[in-house]
Structure 1
Amino acid sequence: MQTQLTSDILSSEHGQEAEAILRNCVHCGFCTATCPTYQLLGSELDSPRGRIYQVKQLLEGASPSAAVQQHLDRCLLCRACETTCPSGVDYSRLLEIGRQHLHQRQSRTLPDRSVRWLLRKVIPRSDLFATLLNLGRLFKPLLPSTLSRVIPKKVSIGESEWPPLRHSRKMLILDGCVQPALAPNINLATAQVLDRLGISVITTPKAGCCGAVEHHLDDHEASRQAARRNIDQWLPLLQDQAEALVITASGCTQMVKEYDRLLADDPQYADKARQLVNHCKDIAEIIQQEDIDPLRQSMSNPPRIAFHASCTLQHGQQISGVVETILSRIGYQLTPVAEAHLCCGSAGTYSILQPELSNQLGERKTEALMKGQPELIATANIGCLSHISKTAPDSTPVVHWIELLSPSHLQAPTEKSASR
């Protein structure tokens, strides 16, 4: 694609990066076939190709507008288009540059700014989020069904349930910001599964949110601060005690794996970020490398599982088919899932900021997952789990796939998930 970026844009490092990405795009249109918003809206402006053109116009000096802002906001950043693109266009990075450029030049309405500010202040703070969630549970009977359905039952984890540090092999774990309150059983199941494989899990409570929320809401400095704080907490332990940092939420894994790019221009943290990224693993990557024979258990009637591969797993991290292979080796039956490449509509804060599109995608995803008549739905990300739970039948639990490897699920796989 030919470009005529303004001189001030071209003089910046980000501008040069954007021009290189734009020149890779040949406007073939393959991306439109896998774009969730294009599938729903049928508008070229709400497709990757259309958004690339809009970003190009902005960087060439076109006046910013609320309409362009809306089209860029509607992107889920699922990266399905990147998986499809034959030219290797780094669409997500280009959109990030375009959104940041627009953020500096196009103001939002007061309600929009207020919601985004609230999301940035609440979600990354696990203590505040947990307090508000407990408050929601208290008033759950008074809330509309559409809202009360997303509030899970409280699950209490006893200290005795967490395996002791008894193995020579050790790994760190990211607690997460919303996951400990919404589904604490996920990290517990991870610790129990790794314990059976001869690996002890070390928690790092002083590490906080991975920074994805702030990053996706255009507060890039806050996301860099989160990355620096986490590096300070994790890297000394990785150099001294632990062999890896394991993360159970695929969205968080993707974010941490991009710390090196996020802090590339930080002289104090660039090298530290690269070291951390080399030690960061999604739980699927860890289990894939281990001998899982100790986890096998004879199941006379193995339950049918529909697995939703989150976008951050299959498109962001490019880890496809790994979880499905693990579950099959354990003994579960996997049902076919149509349109497995399409996003469920969760996409971090997207379900809050773009509820109509998000809900349409959630219903479409649930319909595809349920066609195989599964007894359980499994996924790899807390956001997907919560979102799909809103539309899944009450009789079909939605769980994180690592829970299916824990003793409780192997013995009683049809029990209702505590996250519902």
Structure 2
Amino acid sequence: MAMEIVVPAVGESISEVQIGEWYISEGQWVALDTDIVGLETDKATFDVPAPAGGKISRIVKKAGEMAAIGDVIGYFEEAPEPAGGSGAGESKPKSQGEPKSSPASGSSDNGGQSHQGSEKVMPAASRELAQRGMQAHQAKATGPGGRLLKEDVIASASTSAKGRELSTTSESAGAGPLRTEEIVPLSPIRKRIAERLVSAQHEAALLTTFNEIDMSNVMDLRNQYKDSFLNKYGIKLGFMSFFVKAVLDGMNQVPQIAAQMRGKELVYRNYYDIGVAVGGGKGLVVPVLRNVERMSFAEIELTIADFAKKAKDNKIGLEQLEGGCFTITNGGVYGSLLSTPIVNPPQSGVLGMHGIFERPIALNGQVVIRPMMYVALTYDHRVVDGREAVTFLRRVKEVIEDPTRMLMEI
């Protein structure tokens, strides 16, 4: 008897989802708890596992369609594993770190191209294939062990598009290059990001102040302890933990930075939850570090690393994205020199980090070369005065330029 595949309840404020991707096709056998479909909300992406060993008998809602909580999106039939365990479309139980099975077909092993086997197609590549309507064998795999990466799909699609454009241009002499458009619906996450950013611009009185930080001392400190830190905690010591600690120090001195408007009232907290922007498979997400005042450097780095991994795999939970009294975003990882970040309402401030570049500066009457970073603080002027914003940002600068202040609390 066919079992219904329904959209599960994922949060009180969520009433509908978008079908992101079916990881297997109709009639393809999968093992118990193998992810069969990805669902997207305006806050996060999550997967629905197979309720038993069996196969999907019918897909009701296709990728890109919307479905309400409780809606039937497909039907699943329990069935024994194909004889020999190697039948067409077989999907093995997924262990931690193993990618989802891919709907792509093909069996060529020529030139490092990917196979039908799910171990050859990484999850991000599988999603990219589905979005572009491609099969795995159409992209050349360059990952370890012949694995197909997301970058491989993008590169192959770009090469293919250029080839089609050149062919069309050569066949129609004098007609000019082919001009095409691709219409892609906004995902729930992208819609939500757009709504919140526009809301912040319309409802808050945003202002940005800038400063620059000499990163010499914190870079020296990081280099001095990075090996022992890695050996002890199994994670690299990054710059983000220093900035989280510096922001915490600044908020202790200027509590207005962490305050929020709630109607006609101003809310101050006796704890600090700081959001850290990380890039995910579906866009930028801001998971929250809870009670930063109680966290060590190692705990901050380990938590951020876990956030980054989950974001890449679209596994960030809704509870990890909610709340936060301040946000830190690092455009420097993408090479940004300077930008004006937008506050994430109802927060009152966001700190933008940027790239570290060597620049000549005046120091003790001499021109010297130092690794410098521009930082930008955007704040809600309804809550934070200019004097308070500048004081906060100068404190962040002081702590980063003399990181021993974090230990001495001076």
In the superposition, the TM-score normalised over structure 1's length comes to 0.26
In the superposition, the TM-score normalised over structure 2's length comes to 0.26
Higher strand share: 2
Higher helix share: 1
For the pair shown, the structure with the greater C-alpha radius of gyration is 2
